[in-house]
Amino acid sequence: MDAVKEPTGGSRRNRAYSVTHQELIEGAVRLISEKGVEALSVSGLARALKINRTTVYYHFASREALLEAVRLWSSEQLASAFSTDESQSERIAFIARFVIENPDLIKLWIEEFVSPGDIRDRYPRWDELVAGIAESLGERVDAEIYCTFLLTGAIIGPRVFRQSVRPDLDEAVIVERFRIEQQRMLARDSLRHD
């Protein structure tokens, strides 16, 4: 990633930098959600946030660096759904809802997901997920393949269902159906935790 490095110095300055950096990423996410990935540019983000373009360049050396930060943000959002702070049911619903509500972000994430390179760069909790499946299911499954199925189904499934299978259904209905079916599958494999 060719983002500009955070300045060193006083903690208040670093905090201000971090806040602005996060606001720029969230602004880029909103812009992508509203107008698509093609609409994202440094100038467009500066206009949308009513700031000087130089400020954006201070944080991101290029549009590509900004897109990389958005991809990372998306990955972190998806990875957060695997934290144990919430119930399994809530985590499954979060992923399905995030996928349905952020189609352009998911498209961007999927493009990155299927590109060559180490998955750990795109999905920081990959090793943790594989280790948990391996521990739970042992030699009954190939943990890496099983996790690939889980992640792919969770990320692509709700989008395909919403766009191609049942576009007539309300988002809440789709989220609930995916939650129920994913929990049924996990229970079948002795992985249900709620």
Q: Which long-range contacts (CB under 8 A, 24 or more apart) does 102-107 make?
A: 102/29, 102/33, 102/74, 103/159, 103/163, 104/32, 104/33, 104/36, 104/37, 105/29, 105/32, 105/33, 105/70, 105/74, 106/74, 106/155, 106/159, 107/37
- Structural domain including 109 reads 81-188
Residue 194 domain-assigned? no
Residue 42 domain-assigned? yes
Residue 107 domain-assigned? yes
Instruction: Count how many domains the chain has.
Output: 2
**Tokens, residue 173:** 């209905």
**What's the rounded Cα separation, in Å, for the pair 144 and 162?**
27
Domain with residue 45: its CATH number is 1.10.10.60
Residue of 121, 118, 117, 120 lying closest to 131 (CA atoms): 120
Residue 4 domain-assigned? no
pLDDT, tens digit (0-9, with 9 covering 90-100), for 72-119: 887 777 777 666 677 888 888 888 888 888 888 788 777 777 888 888
Question: 57 and 106, same structural domain?
Answer: no
pLDDT, tens digit (0-9, with 9 covering 90-100), for 29-77: 888 888 888 888 999 999 999 999 999 999 999 999 998 888 888 777 7
Question: 166 and 94, same structural domain?
Answer: yes
Residue 31 domain-assigned? yes
Question: 121 and 97, same structural domain?
Answer: yes
Question: 108 and 43, same structural domain?
Answer: no
Over residues 157-166, mean pLDDT? 92
pLDDT, tens digit (0-9, with 9 covering 90-100), for 2-29: 455 445 555 556 668 888 888 999 899 8
**Tokens, residue 112:** 């990155």
Residue 74 domain-assigned? no
pLDDT above 90 coverage of the chain, percent: 28
- Which parts of the chain fold into alpha helices (H)? 11-35, 42-49, 53-59, 63-80, 88-101, 103-113, 119-122, 126-137, 143-160, 171-188
Final residue of a structural domain among 40, 69, 98: 69
Question: 59 and 99, same structural domain?
Answer: no
Question: 85 and 63, same structural domain?
Answer: no
Question: 181 and 89, same structural domain?
Answer: yes
Residue 105 domain-assigned? yes
